Structure 1
Amino acid sequence: MIRYIIKRLLYMIPTLFGMSLIAFLIIQLPPGDYLTSMIASMTQSGQNVDPAQIALLRRIYGFDDPIYVQYWKWITGIVTRGDFGHSFEWNRPVSELIWDRMGATLSLSIASLLFVWAVSIPIGIYSAVRRHSISDHVFTFFGFLGLAIPNFILALTLMYVSYRFLGQSVGGLYSPEYTGAPMSWGKLLDLLAHLWIPVIVIGTAGTAKLIRILRANLTDELHKPYVVTARAKGLPEHKVILKYPVRIALNPVVSAIGWVLPELVSGITITAIVLNLPTAGPLLLRALISQDMYLAGSFILLMGVLTLVGMLISDILLALLDPRIRFR
C-alpha cells in the first residue's frame, strides 16, 4: 500500500504540470484579455479611454508577452514562492482571494457532505431491506422529487420560509450584526442557524442520487450466495446485512470522494449566488467573465489538485473497505 501511494504521488507531479498548462491555455482561448473587457466596460459607461494608459497597462501586466512567457512566469511563481499571481480586477494577490473564500467553502461543503451521508446511507439500507414496501415507495418519491427540483428554486423557497415563519435574516452565512465581527460563541451559533438552508439545498440532489445507488447495489448483494450462507448458519439479521453486503454496497459512496472535492470550489456556484454565500464559486465565475487569467487559472488548477487528491483518498479507502481490492 505504501509503495502504491508513493507511486501515485510521483505520478501526480507530471499530471499537475499538464493540468496547469491546460488551465492556462483554457483561460487564453477567449478573444481579448482583461484589459479588453475593461475597455469595453468603460466605453459602455461613456468614459474616455486613453490609448497611452492602456499601452502602459499592457506592458505592466505583461499582456504583450507571448503566452509561453506568461505561463512560465505564473508556474515558476507557484512552484518557487507559492505566488499564484496578481488579480487584475481585485488588485490583490490571488492567494489572498483564494484563502479568504476557502474557509466558508470548506465548512459549507463538508457540512453538506456529512448531511448527504447521514441521510442517504440509512435510508438506502432501509429501502434495500424493505424493498417495495410503502416506506420504500415514499422514499423513492421524495428521492425523485429531490432530483427534479432545481437547487435555486429550493433555495428561494427555504429563504421565504425562513424569513416569513422563522423571522430569520436570509442571505449570507451571518446576520448583519455579526458580519465582519471576530469569531465568538454568538457568531458560531448564528452561523449554525444560517447553515441549515445551504446544507439542505446543496445536499438534496446528492442525497437523492446516493439513496438510489446504494439501494440498487445493496439489493444486488443481498441475493448473493455468501449472504444466503450466512443466514443459513444462523447469524443475526443485522450482522448478515451490515458486516459484508453494506461494506461492498458502500463502494460508490467512497469512490464519490474523487468528484466531491472539486465540488467544494465550483459545484455550488448558482446556489451561492442565490443565497449570497461568500464561497469560491461566484469568485471563479466573476474571474472567468472578466478574463482575470491568474485568478481563474489558479482556481481551475486548484480543482485539478483536489480531483487528484480525492481520487487517491477514494482508492485507499476502497482498499480498506472492500477486501477484494488489493494494490499489487
Structure 2
Amino acid sequence: MLSYLARRCLYMIPTLFGISVVAFAIIQLPPGDFLTTLAARLENQGDRMDEAQMSALRERYGLGEPVYEQYAKWVSAIVLHGDFGESFEYGKSVSSLVMDRLPLTVVLAVSTLLATWLLAFPVGLYSAVRQYSAGDYLATTVGFLGLAIPNFMIALVLMYLGHSVFGMSVGGLYSPEYEDAAWNLGKFLDLLSHLWVPVLVLGAAGTAGLVRVLRANLLDELRKPYVVAARARGMPERRLVLKYPLRVALNPFVSNVGYVLPALVSGEVIVSQVLSLPTTGPLLLGALRSQDMYLASSIILIVSLLTVIGTLLSDVLLAWLDPRVRLAQG
C-alpha cells in the first residue's frame, strides 16, 4: 500500500503540470487580454485609455511577452515561492484573494458531501430492499425531481419561501450584523443557520444520483447466486444484506469522491451568484469574464488539484473496502 501511495503521489506531479499548461492556454484562447477588456469597459462608460497608457500597462503586467514566457514566469513563481501572481482586476495577490474565499468553499463542499452521503445511503438502501414499496416510489420520484430541476432554480424557490413564509434572509452565509464581525460563537451559529440552504441546493442532484446508483447496484447484487444460496441456508436477512451485497454496492459511493469535490467547488458558480455566497465560484467567473489570467488559472489549478487528491482518496478507500481490488506491486 505504501509503495502504491508513493507511485500515485509521483504521478500527480506530471498530471498537475499538464493541467496547468492546459488551464493557462485556455485563458489565452479568447481574443485580446485583460487590457483590451478593460479598455472596452472604460469606453462603454464614456472614458478612454490612450495607446501610451495601454503600452505601459502591458509592459508592467508582462502581457506583451510570448505566452510560453508568461506561463514559465507564472509556474516558476508558484514552484519556487508559492506565489500565484497578481490579480489584474483587484490589484492584489492571487493567494490573498483565494485564501479569503477558499476556507468557506471547502467548508461548504465538505458539508455538502457529508450531507449527500448521510442522506443517500439510508434512502438508497431502503429503496433497494423494499423495492416497489411506497417508500421506493417516493424516493424514485424525489430522485428524478432532484436530477431534473436545476440547482439555481431550487435556490430561487428557497429564497422566495425563506423570505415570504419564514421572514428570514436566505442569501449569503451570514446575517448582516455578523458580516464583518470577528469569529465567535454567535457568528459560528449564524453560519450554521445559513449553511443548510446552499448544502441542500448543491446536494440535491448528487444525492438523487447516488440514491439511484446505490439502489441499482444493490438490486443487482441481491439477485446473484451467492446471495440466494446464503438466504437458502437460513442466514438472517439483515446480516446477509449488510455483510456482503451492500459492501459491493458501496463502491460507487467511494469512487465518486474524485469528481464530487471539484464539482462542488467549481460547479457552484451559478448557485453562489444566486445566493450571494462568498466562495471561489463567483471569483472564478469574474476572472474569466475580465480575462484575469493569473487569478483564473490559479483557481482552475486548485480545482484540478482537488480532483487529483479526490481520485487518490477514492482509489485508496476502494482498495480498502473491496477485497477484489488488487494493487500492482513493485
What's the counterpart of residue 72 of structure 1? 72
In structure 2, distance between residues paired with 1:212 and 1:169: 33
Which consecutive aligned stretches of 4+ in structure 1 deviate over 6 angstroms post-superposition? Answer: none
TM-score by length of 2: 0.97
Q: How does 1:126-165 map onto structure 2 within 5 Å?
A: 126-165=126-165
What's the counterpart of residue 5 of structure 2? 5
2:84 counterpart letter in structure 1: F
What's the counterpart of residue 309 of structure 1? 309
In structure 2, distance between residues paired with 1:247 and 1:99: 38
TM-score by length of 1: 0.98
Q: Is the 8 A contact 1:258 1:309 kept in 2?
A: yes
In structure 2, distance between residues paired with 1:26 and 1:179: 35
What's the counterpart of residue 34 of structure 1? 34
In structure 2, distance between residues paired with 1:29 and 1:161: 42
Query: Aligned with 1:127: secondary structure?
Result: helix
Query: Aligned with 1:102: secondary structure?
Result: helix
Q: Tell me, which stretches of 5 or more residues in structure 1 are unaligned?
A: none
Shift of 1:48: 2.5
Q: Does 1:123 align with 2:123?
A: yes
What's the counterpart of residue 109 of structure 1? 109
Question: Which deviates more, 43-52 or 55-64?
Answer: 43-52
Q: Is the 8 A contact 1:106 1:264 kept in 2?
A: no
In structure 2, distance between residues paired with 1:204 and 1:304: 23
Shift of 1:236: 2.0
In structure 1, distance between residues paired with 2:52 and 2:102: 38
Q: Does 1:321 align with 2:301?
A: no
- Taking only the aligned residue pairs, the percentage that are identical comes to 58
Shift of 1:264: 3.5
Q: How does 1:239-318 map onto structure 2 within 5 Å?
A: 239-318=239-318
Q: Is the 8 A contact 1:169 1:175 kept in 2?
A: yes
Shift of 1:307: 1.1
Shift of 1:235: 2.4
Q: How does 1:202-217 map onto structure 2 within 5 Å?
A: 202-217=202-217
1:123 counterpart letter in structure 2: V
What's the counterpart of residue 63 of structure 2? 63
What's the counterpart of residue 233 of structure 1? 233
Shift of 1:102: 0.8
In structure 2, distance between residues paired with 1:83 and 1:185: 34
In structure 2, distance between residues paired with 1:43 and 1:211: 52
Q: Is the 8 A contact 2:170 2:197 kept in 1?
A: no
1:142 counterpart letter in structure 2: V
Shift of 1:167: 2.0
Task: Name the count of aligned residue pairs.
Answer: 328
